[in-house]
Amino acid sequence: MNQVVDKPLSINDISAMKRRGEKITCLTAYDASFAAVIDKAGIDILLVGDSLGMVVQGHSTTLPVTIEDMVYHTRCVSRVRKRAYIIADMPFMTYSAPDLAAKSAAQLLQAGGAHMVKLEGAKIDCVRFLVDQGIPVCGHLGLLPQSIHQFGAYSVQGKEPQDAQKIREDAQQLQQAGASMLILECVPATLAKEISLESSIPVIGIGAGVGCDGQVLVLYDLLNIGVGKRPRFSKNFMTGNNGVEEAIKAYHQAVKNVEFPGSEHSF
C-alpha cells in the first residue's frame, strides 16, 4: 500500500520507499507552472534535466546546456515545490574534476534550490568528493546523453555480457563512493532488475524495465509534445485522460501499481 506523505520529501523518504517495495515516481520539470502541476499530482521526484537543451531550447543534444541554464531552471522549479524531492543535472564538462564538480554542485544547491545533483558516468572521484562535502549525488549509467558523440547513437547499452558487467561494477562503485540514488537509462530490463536488487540505494529506470525501484520520463514525452520523435520506452499518457494533470496522475498511478513500463516499453 502506498503511503501518503504530506510533508516535503527527503532522501530518507525516497530510500524508505525502496525498502518497503513502493515504486518511486519521477518526472522532468523545467519551469514553475509544470513543476507545480507535477508536484500537486503526487510525483515523488522532480528532475531538472539537461534534457531541457533539446525539449525547451531546441538543440539536437544536451551538450550546449550551461550551468547558468541549469541554475535558472532549477530555481524556477524549486520556487513552487511543496512536496517533491528535487534533483538537478550537472551539465556537460561541469564535473570533469572534483573541485569543478563541487563548484557546479554548490551553484545548483545554493542558487538553484536543488536537493541533489546528478552526473553521468562512473565519475567515482567526483562522487566521493561531493559526498564528502555533504552534497547528495545521483549517478547515471547506461545510455549517457552527454557522451552521444562517443556512443554515436542513442541506443541500448549493456546488451553484451562484458558491457553488462561493466555497468554492474560501475553501479557498485558509485554506491560505495556514497551515491544516494542511481538512474539507469536504456539498458536491458533483466540487467536493470539485477542491479536494483543488488543495490541498497534506489534505482530509477528510464527505458530499463519494470524491475527498477522507480521510473522517470521526460515530461514532454509523457504529454506527447515536443520537436522530436517520442522514444519507444515512453508512453503517451494524454490518451484517455482529460488534460495535463490527469495524464500526470495516470502516469503516477501506473508506476505505483507496477503497470508501467510494460514489455513494449522495455528492452
Q: What is the pTM for the complete model shown?
A: 0.96
Cα-trace Rg, the chain: 17
Specify the pLDDT at position 169. Answer: 98
* Residue of 185, 194, 245, 264 marked active site: 185
Told to judge if 185 belongs to the known catalytic residues of this protein, a careful annotator would answer yes
pLDDT at 212 (0 to 100):
98
Supply the pLDDT for residue 1. Answer: 39
Closest to 87 (Cα-Cα) out of 183, 157, 168, 23: 183
Q: Which residues of the chain have pLDDT under 70?
A: 1-5
Q: What is the pLDDT of residue 5?
A: 47
**Per-residue confidence (pLDDT) for residue 2, from 0 to 100:** 46
CA 5 to CA 14: how far, in whole Å? 11
Rounded Cα–Cα distance for residues 135 and 113 (Å): 12
pLDDT at 6: 74
CATH fold for the domain made of 11-265: TIM Barrel (3.20.20)
